[in-house]
Structure 1
Amino acid sequence: MVWKTADYWGWGRALRAHGEIARPERRAALEALLAEGLIPAIGMRRSYGDAPLNDGGRVIDMTRLDRMLAFDAATGVLEVEAGARIGEIAAIFAPRGWLPAVMPGTGFATVGGCIGQDVHGKNHHHAGSFCQHVVSLRLLTADGEREVTPHKAPELFRATAGGLGQTGIILSARIRLMACKGDVMVVTERRAEGWDEFLALLDASEASYTVGWLDATAKGAALGRGILEEGETGAGLVPRRVRSRKVPFDAPGFALSRPVVRAFNAAYYRRVPERGRTVVKPISDFFFPLDRIHDWNRLYGRRGFHQFQCVVPVAAAPALREMLEAIAASGLASPLAVLKRMGPGRAGHLSFPMEGYTLAVDFPNRAEARELIKRLEEMTSAAGGRIYFAKDSLARGTDIRGMYPELADWQRQVARADPEGRLITDLVRRLDLRSEG
């Protein structure tokens, strides 16, 4: 297997790495690469910051180890290699009446990545997090390969779920799919004229899937206005097709300037009639809307962007409103701002979810945006919330320890699974996650 020296980055493109990458196609090639010890494994690098980076070191790209190994139609349990993509699983199995129980906002995420971040989806309030639907996984630790399940090795499982790849290399997993009606989504879209109405709509929703888009530029009485989407799977309906597009070059700075973003957000808000509407969409258009715009991260230009995503308890909703006020006042927000209601479900010591509200907003990589995100992180901590490692690129380790009270439990398991620290990545170094503090 040939090692290739390259520059690479996460989806936000603001943080970059330089090092050697290998991309094995078979298990034997992977074992040869690991003959001298563990090496961090990465997937499609859809984490926005430095979670998939190892600057100056080596990484193994697992995306060619993507076979679907077995499926039990009686139980809905699918066995796949770690490099399999969630979108491909959905495309293959939705026509057969099955979907991954939890899907993140991009279909390009790999199963290994979904486990490593214990991702959540638009149905977290009902279905919990991804790893709550993992029946078992094959994990390669410093001591060799082993099967890990929530029952046979519960503490190692909890350290691996959302554990940022620090317990070992995930080789494959058995995941329990969820029955669905078919391969289309029936989506009801409604406007929310302001923050209080938006939260009321989220709290009252009984739909299987819900997600809200926010106009993060709106102020005053319009603060928090947006669009709530509620979805159910369907069959026998013809969806409205949307053509895929590609961003062919890094956009100039004015492409997401304040006037452009404000005008776009106003038009996007008005696209839904005041009375609301119901539309039929392909599965992929509802769950992975931005995947239709290939390389959409280039809209932020060569310097890239940062995303801030937090979750705060239900009782701390006023703090989230204060964050939104600060974002609107800054004039730095992009059109990408999402609000969701979360339930209590989480599978790992470092899993992001908690019962409450989660807010995600993208910002261009500029000094004033970095300062704003620092303020938002401080507000999150004060509200008893936490930030999401899959999106983070700026936090400090001292901020994280209070947000993740089970950190010490995770550290104990990681120290056993990778005692030499061979799996440490840039994010783990930046946040000093593996050292006792």
Structure 2
Amino acid sequence: MRQVSSWGRLDAPAHRVIRLTDPERLPEQLRSGPFPGLAYGMGRSYGDVCLNPDNTLWETAGLDHFVAFDDRSGLLVCEAGVLLRDIQRLTLPRGWMLPVTPGTQLVTVGGAIANDVHGKNHHLQGTFGEHVRRLTLVRTDGTTLECGPDQQADWFAATVGGLGLTGVIVRAELQLRRVAGPWLETEALPFENLEAFFSLADHSVAGWEHTVSWIDCMASGHTRGVFMRGRPSAAEGRRRPRTRMLRMPFVPPVSLVNALSLRPFNQLYYLLNTRRRGRTLTHYEPFFYPLDNLLDWNRMYGPRGFYQYQSVVPQDAGLDSTKAMLAEISRAGEGSFLAVLKTFGERAPIGMLSFPQAGATLALDFPNRGERTLALLARLDAIVLEARGRLYAAKDARMPRTLFEAGYPRLPEFLHYRDPGISSGLSRRLLGH
């Protein structure tokens, strides 16, 4: 047994860890248990969706082989343990990139599919699952399924965004997108209130592929922030900037994210970006993955870890609900270094349990202060529920079952595709098994 934690570091329960390395032997390995088991990639989910306390984890990092790549069509076949970072670095020199990536590229292909991750370009490219052409799924009875949007489409819709509960994803075929290079034309635009944010978001959809905003949760009386947008550029002759990998070397005895640090950090970040306003050329890595150069940054929240809370509310409730949530956070005296606000486009979810819906999504990190933090999150839940929104299961560690059931109306349909030999901390909490 080995202690394993998710990225939020709220706890580190014991697991029986079995490393998977050979796709040919995988059906036999899964069939032999012990059950219940769960596929585990890089552990970058924040809550308990990637944990299976006191039970088995099938570690997929050893399934890390590229199988085939056609640099004329951009079709890539790889095993589920391949990192998104390694795909980018292999295919970008050949003129191709992943169409959709989340805020870190240090995640596996299998994890990206199971959580149907999204990026800053949902209005144009949708979610990761929309670019999966085929996947190979192995069930714990040894059955192997090949599925895709036009082949066993029901199994595909259950597995994309299915939280790893339909089987173990072994291999995937991905459609990459043609790009001119690694550069983006970017622009940072400070704003002074939420009305300005939504106006910028609406006016940026037509001309900019990537849009996201950092907001200052600690600003009194209003919600200021920095709206960042980007679009691919054909710039040539630029040298990739040198980046120095840093590491949070230890876990401090208390969270470094607190009232003393948040306010000056947010003020400084806002002022720096106000001075840098305007357009520039930016390499894709610092724009898409600003924290990947600070390894183990999750340690800064101290030994008790942190909760990430990401919600989405429909367009008609976006402004009022976001204001209400930020007001609750302000009244509680809480805040976040990493407060991110963006919008999702009008695209039907690919998976039965896919998170995005048209509207506004707000993501914040909260140091774990016990009941005080849980009480605040419960008040935020009430706002999301009233607005007919939902929470992102990939980042959740404490969502009530009622909110999960209300936010995911296709849940009863999904349950028919669950693998009885697979479970997780999240599934036992929200589904009962």
TM over 0.5: yes
The Cα of 1:280 is off from its aligned counterpart by: 2.8
Structure 1 residues 44-99: Cα deviation after superposition (integer angstroms, max 9, x where no partner): 01100001111111111101111111112222111110001112211222222211
Paired residues of 2:217 and 2:339 also in contact (CA < 8 A)? yes
Q: Distance in 2 between matches of 1:356 and 1:219?
A: 25
**1:408 and 2:412 correspond:** yes
**125-134 or 85-94: bigger deviation:** 85-94
**Partner residue, 2:321:** 319
> SS at the partner of 2:199?
helix
The Cα of 1:185 is off from its aligned counterpart by: 2.5
Q: Distance in 1 between matches of 2:163 and 2:11?
A: 17
Amino acid at match of 1:391: K
**308-317 or 234-243: bigger deviation:** 234-243
Paired residues of 1:131 and 1:161 also in contact (CA < 8 A)? yes
**Partner residue, 1:17:** 13
Amino acid at match of 1:392: D
Give unmatched runs, 5+ long, in structure 1.
none
Q: Distance in 1 between matches of 2:48 and 2:346?
A: 27
Paired residues of 1:338 and 1:359 also in contact (CA < 8 A)? yes
The Cα of 1:326 is off from its aligned counterpart by: 1.3
Amino acid at match of 2:375: E
Within 5 A, what are the aligned runs for 1:92-103?
92-103=90-101
Structure 1 residues 325-347: Cα deviation after superposition (integer angstroms, max 9, x where no partner): 11123222221110111013321
The Cα of 1:13 is off from its aligned counterpart by: 0.5
Structure 1 residues 267-309: Cα deviation after superposition (integer angstroms, max 9, x where no partner): 0001123582223332211111111100000000011000100
Q: Distance in 1 between matches of 2:38 and 2:73?
A: 33
Tell me the C-alpha RMSD between the 2 structures. Answer: 1.6
The Cα of 1:136 is off from its aligned counterpart by: 0.6
The Cα of 1:321 is off from its aligned counterpart by: 1.2
**Partner residue, 1:52:** 50
Q: Distance in 1 between matches of 2:19 and 2:183?
A: 34
**182-191 or 249-258: bigger deviation:** 249-258
Pick aligned residue for 1:365 from 358, 365, 368: 368
Paired residues of 2:27 and 2:144 also in contact (CA < 8 A)? no
Within 5 A, what are the aligned runs for 1:305-316?
305-316=306-317
Give unmatched runs, 5+ long, in structure 2.
none
**1:350 and 2:353 correspond:** yes
Pick aligned residue for 2:129 from 128, 131, 139: 131
Paired residues of 1:40 and 1:58 also in contact (CA < 8 A)? yes
After TM superposition, the score normalised by the length of structure 2 is 0.94
**173-182 or 19-28: bigger deviation:** 19-28
Structure 1 stretches of 4+ with a deviation exceeding 3 A read 28-32, 238-242
Q: Distance in 1 between matches of 2:92 and 2:162?
A: 29
Distance 1:71 1:92, change over 3 A: same
Distance 1:261 1:382, change over 3 A: same
**Partner residue, 1:114:** 112
Q: Distance in 1 between matches of 2:108 and 2:288?
A: 15
Paired residues of 1:191 and 1:274 also in contact (CA < 8 A)? no
After TM superposition, the score normalised by the length of structure 1 is 0.93
Q: Distance in 2 between matches of 1:58 and 1:34?
A: 10
**Partner residue, 1:70:** 68
Paired residues of 1:213 and 1:228 also in contact (CA < 8 A)? yes
Work out the number of aligned pairs and report it: 423
Identical counterparts, % of pairs: 38
Within 5 A, what are the aligned runs for 1:150-189?
150-189=149-188
Paired residues of 1:81 and 1:172 also in contact (CA < 8 A)? yes
Paired residues of 1:94 and 1:182 also in contact (CA < 8 A)? yes
**Partner residue, 1:427:** 426
**Partner residue, 2:388:** 384
**141-150 or 29-38: bigger deviation:** 29-38
Amino acid at match of 1:384: R
Q: Distance in 2 between matches of 1:254 and 1:25?
A: 37
